[in-house]
Structure 1
C-alpha cells in the first residue's frame, strides 16, 4: 500500500517535470520564431531606399511599438503561471526588437546621405552598429558624422539606459510580483482545502 502511494507521488513528480520541460521548450520555440520573424522583416524591408521622413516614422512608430510591447509583456508576466520564464521570454524578444528598430533607422539615415555615417550602411552594418552602441563596445569603424546621425545615436544611448534600467527592472519586478501572486494563491488554496 505504501509503495503504491510512493509510486503515485513519483509519477506525479515525473508528470510535473514533463510539463515544466514542455513549457520551457514551447517558450524557447516562441522566442526563436519571434526573433526570426523580426530579423526577416528587418532584412526584407527596403530601408536603404527610404526617405528621411520614413526613417523618422520608423523610429517613432517603432518606439511606440516597443513601449506597447513591454507593457503587454509586463501584463502577461503578472498573469502567468510561470512568471520567471515569461520574464526571460519578454527580455529575449524585447531587446532584439529594440536593436532591430534602431538599426533600421540607421540604415534609412545612411541611405539619405553618406555624410550621416561617412558611408552606406547595409542591413548587416546597421545592425552591427546598433549592437556596438548598445553594448558600449564602439570599435570606431562606423561613426555618426552629421549632427542628425549624432542626435540619433545619442537617442539610442539614452534609450539603452532606459532599456537596461527601467525595462529590465520592470520585467524582473513583474516576475517577482507574479511569483508572489502564485505563492499567495497557492497558500490561499491550500488553506481553503485544509478547512
Structure 2
C-alpha cells in the first residue's frame, strides 16, 4: 500500500508478528507515559515560585530554547528511527507537553510575583489548566491575563501554539516521510 508520494505506508513493522507489534506499541506507550510523568514531576517540583522579574523572563527564554532544541532532536530521531511513525507520535506528544510545561511554569511564576497578573492567583494546577485552555483555543474565561506582561506572554503562547499545530506537525510529517524513504532505499 502506498500514499501520494509513492511511499510504503507499512514498512519496517510489516515483518513483525502480532505479538512483536503489540510489544512495540506497548514500549511506545510506556515511553510516552514516562516522558509525561517526568515532565509533569519536574513542573510540580521546580522552585518556580522563587522566580521574579528578569529571572522569569530568563526562565521563559531558556524554556523556549529548550523546546526548540528538543524539537530539533525529536525531528532528527524520526528520520533515523526504525519506526518513524511511532517515533513521530512520541515527538508530537513530547513537544506539546514540553510547551505546556514551559508556559504553565511562566504563568505560575508571573502570578506568584504579581497576584494581579491574572484574574485570580494561579496555583501550579491553575497554570497548567490555563495553558491547556489557551492551547486548545477553548478559553473558558474563568482565568484571564490582566496585565500587559501576562497578556503578552499569553499572546506569544497563542502564536507558538499555531506554529506548533502548523509548521511543527508539517516538519514531523516530513521527517516521517524521509525516514520511510530511508528505509525503502536501505531495503
For residue 160 of structure 1, what is the aligned residue in structure 2?
161
- Higher helix content, 1 or 2: 1
Classify 1:80/1:15 alpha carbon distance in 2 versus 1 (closer, same or farther; 3 Å).
closer
Q: Residue 93 of structure 2: SS of its match in structure 1?
A: helix
Q: Which has the larger radius of gyration?
A: 1
The offset of 1:54, in angstroms, is 2.3
For residue 22 of structure 1, what is the aligned residue in structure 2?
23
For residue 82 of structure 1, what is the aligned residue in structure 2?
83
Cα deviation code 1:15-34 (max 9, x no counterpart): 63333222221111111111
Whether the aligned pair in 2 keeps the contact of 1:144 and 1:153 (CA below 8 Å) is: yes
For residue 109 of structure 1, what is the aligned residue in structure 2?
110
For residue 122 of structure 1, what is the aligned residue in structure 2?
123
Q: Residue 142 of structure 2: SS of its match in structure 1?
A: coil
**CA-atom RMSD in angstroms:** 1.5
Cα deviation code 1:122-160 (max 9, x no counterpart): 000000000000000001011111111110111001101
> CA separation in 2, counterparts of 1:178 and 1:91?
16
> CA separation in 1, counterparts of 2:110 and 2:83?
41
Q: TM-score, normalised by structure 2?
A: 0.88
Whether the aligned pair in 2 keeps the contact of 1:48 and 1:122 (CA below 8 Å) is: no
Long gaps (5+) in structure 1: 1-12, 187-195
Further displaced range: 46-55 or 102-111: 46-55
For residue 92 of structure 2, what is the aligned residue in structure 1?
91
For residue 57 of structure 2, what is the aligned residue in structure 1?
56
For residue 145 of structure 1, what is the aligned residue in structure 2?
146
Cα deviation code 1:15-67 (max 9, x no counterpart): 63333222221111111111100000101122233212222122111111110
For residue 5 of structure 2, what is the aligned residue in structure 1?
none
Classify 1:183/1:49 alpha carbon distance in 2 versus 1 (closer, same or farther; 3 Å).
same
> CA separation in 1, counterparts of 2:130 and 2:89?
25
For residue 38 of structure 2, what is the aligned residue in structure 1?
37
Q: TM-score, normalised by structure 1?
A: 0.85
